[in-house]
Amino acid sequence: MQWTFEGTVDRQPIRAIGILALLAAVAFGCSPEDVSESAPPVDGPDLSVPTTLPIGSAASTSPPTSQASPVPVPTTAGKPVVEATRPAETGPAPAGDLLFPISDFDTFQETFDRSHPFQPLERFCAPTDPREDEPRETDRGITDQMVTIVQIRTRLEELGWIGMSIPPDESVSTLEAFAGLVNEECGGIHGRHIDLRVVEAPSLGGAGVDLDTLQAAACIEATEQMPAVLVLDMSGLGSSAVRCVAVDQKVGVVSTGSHPGDLVADANGALVTLSSSAEELMAAAVKSAEERGLLAGRSIAVVVGDSSGQPDSVTSGLIRPLRWLGYEPVLHLLGCEGSATCRVGRETAVSRMIEAGADVVFPLLNLASLPGLVGEMVRQDMPRPTIVQTGFNGQSGDVAARNVASFAGPAAGAFYDGAMVVASEPTGAARLPGGDVPAFDAMCSAEYARASGRPMGITFSPASDIFQTVVEACALMRIVARSVFDAGPDPRRRDVVHALEHLGPVDLPGMLPASVGHRKHALPDGVLELEYGYPCGLDTAGADEPDFGCIVPVGGYRKVD
């Protein structure tokens, strides 16, 4: 039976049973006590025999730190649940196990060295013995006292100028809090403190200067003027700017974003991402959609902006796997004109999708562009298609999903309702009834609350934007600290990058398996399926706050090949 939107709007607890078992397994197993054809091929699942079907296209286009003892973070196992299948009208369940086996999570956790000063689960870091000799200056950004780490903060609040709803950016203060824990409570790293600096980059192009050029200026400031030993990106720095840092300047980057596989490869270990690569996410989305019976006999449309590198990633990661399966996707390219908003040719693209009877759409646009596309679909009375989305361009986060309804209106939210999102992070897991907060997430929240001077036991709601920011900052700063520590007492810059690309297992938000090494630099070992719901119905928003929908996991975890 074909999967329809009418079968996806019910987000009752039965839909969440599979993912709850997965999250319970994590909490139990992880407690502290125990567009071109020449694009490079992507390492992805072998989907089928290649075909030569044509691709159609449309025209156009510090805070203060506390010296108090760390608060132990308890973890509990989730309530026993039974596996349930999705309602029949939603189509077949994914092939293979919906849940990641508990034994595999246990095995993954056993690969950690929890005695490492920057890998415990009960606290952010542990003090180390003072070194016997004095540190010495070894390289640019590595003095006898400091190691310079630079956050390039994209000013997402600028998107408010064009009507987007963007929550306050707390990334600077959260990173400062965790850097403070390293410096003040744990004695620094081999006798040096983290010198955390911030460079700001725009999120909108304008005044005749394209966005890539403006963000490249931030790259130069961070790498040449600071100079950064490692660069942190928590707010969607564009792939061109990341390429400037990691490839051109050969400075290590730790990014929360999803970037093209060729960029990750070209960085040669200098770029580590908390998300799967763009091509990995797209190939996984194709496989999930095919297994759920969403593609057979359907007219498939793909919408992407012409920002640098994105059409090539879509060709390699999405178009090619679809063609291997025997489908004829129609590619609609929207012009971005060097800015964050891709809208040139949008009306034409929607009208052509309507004419072609498109009933499956992959809308692979960024946060600033997706709401306008969905709004245009509503304006032209396009029959509501099956929407398959990915975590590429940040579309697996609540902020991006909520802006569909807040920017384009309730009708757009209802149109986007039920969209399947394939991503690396379990967005919205805390909203599900009976879910437990993973041990790493709980530790990060408690340590941040303590470091920022909040009363003991007062933390943030696990479903809130600030909670996600805190845990991401915690993960990034731990990666930084581990890399600098593992590089040795008096490292050079290249030693830190070498350590970064050989960290092995890594704690990420949600505690799903993640690792780096053996030329694997996109950390997550797997992806899972999420779903956007409008209205949310599971959120804890106040009575006076509008409900713009939310994202929750619905299962389908699979390892990335």
Residues in the chain: 561
Give the CA-trace dihedral at 286, 288, 291, 294, to 10 degrees. Answer: -70
CA distance 363 to 345: 14
Q: Which residue do the tokens 């052509």 mark?
A: 352
Q: What would the two tokens of residue 96 be?
A: 């293979």
In angstroms, the CA 408 to CA 370 distance is: 9
**pTM (global) more than 0.85:** no
Collapsed DSSP state (helix, strand, coil) of residue 38: coil
Q: How far apart are CA 554 and CA 529, in angstroms?
A: 6
- Amino acid identity of 388? V
Q: Which residues of the chain have pLDDT under 50?
A: 1-99
**32-48 per-position pLDDT tens digit:** 433 333 333 334 434 33
Phi-psi region of 209 (alpha: psi -120 to 50; beta: other; left: phi over 0): beta
Distance CA 513, CA 427 (A): 15
Residue 515 bridge partners (DSSP): 505
Give exposure, 418-438, as e/b (b: 16+ Cβ within 10 Å): bbbbbbbbbbbbbbbeebbbb
334 phi and psi angles, rounded to 5 deg:
-100, 140
Distances (CA, A) of 300 to 92, 362, 516: 19, 8, 35
Architecture of domain 141-277+436-524: 3-Layer(aba) Sandwich (3.40)
Residue 314 confidence (pLDDT): 96
pLDDT of residue 436: 82
CATH of 42-59+93-98+279-430+528-559, one of 3.40.50.10860, 3.40.50.2300, 3.30.1490.190, 3.40.50.300: 3.40.50.2300
CA atoms of 355 and 327, how far apart (whole Å):
18
Q: Taking the alpha carbons of 294, 297, 299, 302 in that order, is the dihedral positive or negative?
A: positive
Please give the pLDDT value at position 56. 34
Q: What is the DSSP letter of 520?
A: B
Q: Do the first three CATH levels of 42-59+93-98+279-430+528-559 and 141-277+436-524 match, i.e. the same topology? A: yes
Q: Which pLDDT tens digit goes with each residue over 247-276?
A: 999 999 999 999 999 999 999 999 999 999
What is the rounded distance in angstroms from the CA atom of residue 18 to the CA atom of residue 52? 38
Mark out the alpha helices in 437-547 (DSSP H runs): 439-451, 465-486, 493-500
Q: Are 345 and 373 in contact (CB under 8 A)?
A: no
In the chain, what are the domain boundaries? 42-59+93-98+279-430+528-559, 141-277+436-524
